[in-house]
A and B are shown apart, each in its own frame.
Chain A
Amino acid sequence: MTHHPKERYGGLNRRDFLLRSAVAASALSGASGLLAACSSSTTAEQETTVGSTGAGEPEPLGPGGLPLARPHKRVELPLWEDPIESGLEPETGGTFTVYNYPDYFYKKLLTQFGKEYGVKVQYTPFDNIASGIQRLASGAVQPDVMEMTPDNLDLAVAGKLIKPINIDYVPNLAKNIWPELVSPFYDVDSHYTVPYTCYATGIAWRNDKVSEDIAAMSQPWDIFWEAEAYAGKTALLSEERETIGMALLRKGELDLNTEDPALIDQAVADLKELYDICNIKIGDIQYQAIPEGTAWLNQAWSGDMIAAYIYYLPKGTPASVLSYWKAEKGNVPVQNDCFSICSTTKKPVLAHHFLNFMLDNGVSYENFVDFNGYQPPLNEIDPETLVTDGVVPENLANCVLTNDDFGPDSLQYMTLTQNGQKLWQDGYSDFLAGGS
């Protein structure tokens, strides 16, 4: 289960645990029926082989028996119900609920949407996508639209938690968004999602503290294994896929969705070497720790470095002390977030209008530069313009992604089989345990 840049100190407490336990039965009863619905209506594209491989081995499947999407393997998700008809008028009045990570959408823009359509917009946050989906499944929340991640999409569709989209209502998708994400590999024809933000995983560091030219190293990920001088100031992302995935990439293994136990074991063994090398830390506050200088070297998401520059750089600290490296296309892990319409919506037409609203060039750009720091995949955004406009300093221009970063040869952490998820989670547990 991948986590998300917006997940900070989002651990489950005992209360959450008990709540989760209590809702589990209802979640199960709802989900099993959906599985049947999905399995009977799967309409995978030609690129997707469902059921068996050429070698006679059964094709691994994800939650709900849905095929596992990969950048080179496109999946069209089944429609568990028909989308709404075209040409309907949006509902007005009452409350429209947006369900998302905390502080991940500019409230000024939500108010603007509410005024435009005559509704009160409520923003309901969740700690992380897993608990967000759990609350949705339990009926504890009844949002109209929600943030979604591609690796959780199978689960949400199999659980009938999100509704099919009628793309006629979302013309901004084809008009403004990168072609690679208009009909993405994980949701061909955008049946359930529209893209929201995108980011890459790389290395952030303070170049006034770290002497090595990391970008010039033959294998920049090696820096963590050469960080004796930065002990206590070096951290990895607190996320099992990213952490183990980084160790795989360092060894040249590009399959970030591997379920080979030998590869995972080796990656975990490599990560454990970091205990003694640099007393490695884990955490997701690099957006603050790097600019403030409490960390000098960090595995980091590109969006965090833009946010670091916009919000967290202390007065008197020049932006030039921040450096970021990400690998070339085909070697760099990239991700994108999405938005979906929840099955609980009472305003399905308005929900479609919201998706179109958030993909408007002006709205999306304002959300990015004035609030979020996470880049939307807009055609009109390019690194040079952002540097020219002063949104991003020149030394962080590589934090801005382009549509070239996404495509069939891109590296993306995607849904694993249940056994695969166990494998990665147990591996991370082993690393997190800290050794003797």
Chain B
Amino acid sequence: MYRRWLWPGFALPGVVWLIVLFVVPFYTVVAVALGTVDPILFQPVPIWNPLEWNVGWLNEVIHRLGPGGNLTDVALRTLQYVAISLVLSLLIGYPVAYYIARLAGRTKALLLILVIAPLWINYLMRMLAWVNLLAPDGYVNRFLTYTHILSEPRDWLGGRPSTVILALVYGYIPFLILPLFAALDRIDKSHLEAARDLGASRFSTFVHVTLPLSKVGILGGAVLIALPMFGDYYTPNIVSGAPQTSMIGNQIDLYFHGGPQPTIGAAITIVLAAFLTLLMGYYLWTIHRATREARTA
């Protein structure tokens, strides 16, 4: 009996953690989105019993996010920003992770610390630092004009989508590099040597061996940064401030910031979570398949 529960018992802290910090809060969000609003204080009143759920707010949000709805554009813009940021992050992060994992040698630990170092500083502080750097007379413009890359200072903070995307990339890329590094570092060198021994070029080895074996790391990192990016609202606020670069998170923020419709904010959160579950589902399926293939190999 004791042995039967010993090993599953090790999962208990994690399970409790998940229940307390994920399941309960998420159910609370659902209960708020499908709940009502206190008519005096305009506070959300969660409905805990699924049989009594009120789907009115959720229907309204789905309608507003659908074709012709007033939230369609901001939802598509968010998708676009996250997709571009993800691609850029991969283009930048993969070589960095690859170098650290495969080529850095003794400097591996130091480089890893340098990748993580920005995370020691609060995200908002880092973004506010960029506001100074990107100012018309900031160091970025000074450098670009001094080197004649630009003929005159660029108004980076004038509500440009490119600035928001670059800020997203900067803010989240360490979270992509770390799982990528872990995946690349785990690749058995003998696989690479076998490929080379069989006549594959360096490039071919990378394409046919390294890249497929790092797929789980790529997906893990991508999921890890895509999820918070979808809900981000402070990055566009700080580096842009233009409604034309706002993201769906700004709408959630608006409805929670005050007023009589916090349930709308919760309902948008639910719809966003449902969409993100699809991404997460694909990631989990990929992991499952990779694990199965590894067992059969």
Interface residues of A (CB under 8 A from B): 1, 3, 9-12, 14, 16-18, 20-25, 27-28, 31-32, 34-35, 63-64, 128-131, 133-134, 137, 155, 158-159, 231-233, 235, 238, 240, 275, 279-283, 293-294, 418, 421-422, 425-426, 428-436
Contacts and interface: CB of A to CB of B under 8 A. Distances in A.
Contacts of A155: 40-42
Interface in B121-164: 124, 135-136, 155, 157-160
B256 A431 contact: no
Given A27-B38, A133-B41, A232-B155, A435 B262 contact: no
Given A31-B41, A155-B42, A232-B159, 7 more contacts: A3-B258, A11-B257, A18-B28, A129-B258, A281-B159, A422-B259, A429-B254
5 contacts: A24-B44, A231-B158, A281-B159, A432-B74, A432-B250
B257 A418 contact: no
Contacts of B158: 231-233, 279, 281
B246 to A, nearest CB: 5
B269 to A, nearest CB: 8
Contacts of A235: 241
Interface string B92-123: 00000000000000000000000000000000
Interface residues of B, number: 54
Given A433-B74, A433-B243, A17 B39 contact: no
The main secondary structure of chain A at its interface with chain B is helix
A433 B262 contact: no
Interface centre among B41, B233, B266 (most CB of A within 10 A): B41
Interface string B233-248: 1100110111111100
Contact of B159 (A18, A279, A425): A279
Nearest to A31: B40
B46 A24 contact: yes
Interface string B260-276: 11100110010000000
A24 B32 contact: yes
B241 A281 contact: yes
Contacts of B29: 17-18, 21
Contacts of B28: 18, 21-22
B245 A434 contact: yes
Contacts of A158: 40
Nearest to B253: A11
The 6 closest A-B pairs by CB, nearest first: A232-B158, A130-B258, A1-B258, A434-B243, A31-B40, A281-B241
B246 A12 contact: no
B25 interface: yes
Contacts of A159: 40-41
B238 A432 contact: no
